[in-house]
Structure 1
Amino acid sequence: MENSIGRGGIEENILAILDASETKETRDANDDRIAFLEAVRAASIVPESGIAPTNKMCAAVFRILRVGKSLELIMPSFQLLNELDKRYPRLYLSSSDRSKSSSSAPLELVLVKEAWSPFVADLGTSSSEKQVADKNSGGPFDSSGFHLLIQDLAEVARDANFKTLDMKFLGSMLVFQYLLNVLEGDMLPRKSGETMNWTLLRESLLNMLLGSRKSNYKVLVRDCLTVMCGLYQLQSTFSNDPMYVETSVAKPSDNYDPAVAVAFPEIGNNTCIAMQKLLTLIMELDMSKKEADMQGYTTRADGVRTPLVEVILDELTYNDEILSPFLQVFNDPKWKLEIILQYIWKYTPKPPVRTRRSNGSTDDATLSGALKCFSSTTSTKSIVKKIGIEVIQLLLAHAFKAHLFLSSGKCPALGDPDSKEDVRDNPLVEICENMISAFNSLRRIDENMEVLSFGKEALFTAATILSTKS
Structure 2
Amino acid sequence: MENPSSSERSRAGIEDNMLAMFDASETKDAHQDALDDRIAFIDAVRASCEHGKPPTSKIFGAVFHMLRTGKSLELIVGSYKLLVDLDKHFPRVYLSGTDDSRSSSNSPSKLVVVKEAWSPIIDFVDKATAVSEAGDKQSGGSLDPSSFQVLIEGLAEVLAETKFEAASMEPLRNMLIFQYLVVVFEDDFLPRNATLNWSMQRESLLSLLLGSRKINYKSLMKDCMAIMCQLSQLLSELSKHPVLQESSESKLSKSCHTALSLALLGILKDTCVSMEKLLVMIMDLDMARKKADIEGRTTRADSPRTPLMDIILDELAYNKDSVPVFLKMVSEPKWKLEIVVQYLWKYITKPSVRTRKSNGHTEDATFGGALKCFSNITGTKSLIKKIGVDVVQFLLAHGFQAHLSILSKGNAGDKQGGNSALVDLCQAFISAFDSLRSTNEHMEILSMGKEALFTAATIISVKS
TM-score by length of 1: 0.89
Mean alpha-carbon deviation: is it higher for 104-113 or for 336-345? 104-113
Alignment of 1:127-206 (within 5 A): 131-132=133-134, 137-163=139-165, 166-193=168-195, 196-206=196-206
Displacement of 1:436 in angstroms is 1.7
In 2, the alpha carbon distance for the partners of 1:6 and 1:317 equals 62
1:83 and 2:85 matched: yes
1:285 and 2:285 matched: yes
Amino acid at match of 1:19: D
What's the counterpart of residue 246 of structure 2?
A: 254
Alignment of 1:355-366 (within 5 A): 355-358=355-358, 360-366=360-366
In 1, the alpha carbon distance for the partners of 2:70 and 2:55 equals 20
Change (3 A) 1:426 1:161: farther
What's the counterpart of residue 408 of structure 1?
A: 408
In 1, the alpha carbon distance for the partners of 2:141 and 2:352 equals 58
Q: Give the paired residue count.
A: 448
The percent of aligned pairs where both chains have the same amino acid is 53
Question: The residue matched to 2:26 in structure 1 has which SS?
Answer: coil
Question: The residue matched to 1:53 in structure 2 has which SS?
Answer: coil
In 2, the alpha carbon distance for the partners of 1:333 and 1:198 equals 25
Change (3 A) 1:395 1:130: farther
What's the counterpart of residue 16 of structure 2?
A: 12
Displacement of 1:331 in angstroms is 1.1
In 2, the alpha carbon distance for the partners of 1:425 and 1:207 equals 41
What's the counterpart of residue 430 of structure 1?
A: 424
Question: The residue matched to 1:159 in structure 2 has which SS?
Answer: coil
Displacement of 1:410 in angstroms is 7.0
Displacement of 1:13 in angstroms is 1.2
Displacement of 1:366 in angstroms is 1.3
Mean alpha-carbon deviation: is it higher for 111-120 or for 280-289? 111-120
**How far does the alpha carbon of each residue in 1:99-140 deviate from its partner, in whole angstroms, 9 at most, with x for none?**
x83434432222111111001132124696784475772431
Question: Is the CA contact (8 Å cut-off) linking 1:109 and 1:189 kept in structure 2?
Answer: yes
RMSD in angstroms over aligned alpha carbons?
2.7
In 1, the alpha carbon distance for the partners of 2:84 and 2:234 equals 26
1:31 and 2:31 matched: no
In 2, the alpha carbon distance for the partners of 1:130 and 1:354 equals 60
Question: The residue matched to 2:55 in structure 1 has which SS?
Answer: coil
In 2, the alpha carbon distance for the partners of 1:307 and 1:231 equals 23
1:448 and 2:442 matched: yes
Change (3 A) 1:326 1:426: farther
What's the counterpart of residue 254 of structure 2?
A: none
Change (3 A) 1:216 1:63: same
Amino acid at match of 1:342: Q
Question: Is the CA contact (8 Å cut-off) linking 1:67 and 1:138 kept in structure 2?
Answer: no
In 2, the alpha carbon distance for the partners of 1:138 and 1:61 equals 9
**How far does the alpha carbon of each residue in 1:370-408 deviate from its partner, in whole angstroms, 9 at most, with x for none?**
011111111011111111111101100110011111111
In 1, the alpha carbon distance for the partners of 2:167 and 2:421 equals 48
Change (3 A) 1:260 1:133: farther
Displacement of 1:4 in angstroms is 4.0
What's the counterpart of residue 324 of structure 2?
A: 324
In 1, the alpha carbon distance for the partners of 2:443 and 2:138 equals 52
Structure 2: unaligned runs, 5 residues or longer: 251-256
1:71 and 2:87 matched: no
Question: Is the CA contact (8 Å cut-off) linking 1:162 and 1:251 kept in structure 2?
Answer: no
What's the counterpart of residue 368 of structure 2?
A: 368
In 1, the alpha carbon distance for the partners of 2:228 and 2:410 equals 24
Displacement of 1:431 in angstroms is 2.0
Displacement of 1:250 in angstroms is 10
Displacement of 1:5 in angstroms is 3.1
Question: The residue matched to 2:409 in structure 1 has which SS?
Answer: coil
Amino acid at match of 1:9: G
Question: Is the CA contact (8 Å cut-off) linking 2:407 and 2:421 kept in structure 1?
Answer: no
What's the counterpart of residue 387 of structure 1?
A: 387
In 1, the alpha carbon distance for the partners of 2:338 and 2:280 equals 12
Question: The residue matched to 2:94 in structure 1 has which SS?
Answer: strand
TM-score by length of 2: 0.90
Amino acid at match of 1:453: S
Mean alpha-carbon deviation: is it higher for 268-277 or for 454-463? 454-463
In 2, the alpha carbon distance for the partners of 1:368 and 1:426 equals 14
In 2, the alpha carbon distance for the partners of 1:251 and 1:321 equals 28
Question: Is the CA contact (8 Å cut-off) linking 2:94 and 2:112 kept in structure 1?
Answer: yes
What's the counterpart of residue 333 of structure 1?
A: 333
Amino acid at match of 1:340: V
**How far does the alpha carbon of each residue in 1:21-66 deviate from its partner, in whole angstroms, 9 at most, with x for none?**
225562111111111101000100xx3x333201000000010011
In 1, the alpha carbon distance for the partners of 2:409 and 2:439 equals 36
In 1, the alpha carbon distance for the partners of 2:419 and 2:131 equals 53
In 1, the alpha carbon distance for the partners of 2:38 and 2:262 equals 23
Structure 1: unaligned runs, 5 residues or longer: 241-248, 416-422
Change (3 A) 1:353 1:136: farther
Question: Is the CA contact (8 Å cut-off) linking 2:166 and 2:260 kept in structure 1?
Answer: no
Please identify runs of 4+ aligned residues in structure 1 that moved more than 4 A.
Answer: 126-131, 133-136, 358-361, 423-426
Question: The residue matched to 1:109 in structure 2 has which SS?
Answer: strand
Displacement of 1:6 in angstroms is 3.6
In 2, the alpha carbon distance for the partners of 1:151 and 1:408 equals 39
Question: The residue matched to 1:161 in structure 2 has which SS?
Answer: coil
Alignment of 1:189-338 (within 5 A): 189-193=191-195, 196-239=196-239, 252-255=244-247, 257-338=257-338
Question: The residue matched to 1:300 in structure 2 has which SS?
Answer: coil
Question: Is the CA contact (8 Å cut-off) linking 2:419 and 2:463 kept in structure 1?
Answer: no
Amino acid at match of 2:295: Q
Question: The residue matched to 1:75 in structure 2 has which SS?
Answer: helix
Question: Is the CA contact (8 Å cut-off) linking 1:7 and 1:53 kept in structure 2?
Answer: no
Amino acid at match of 1:153: L
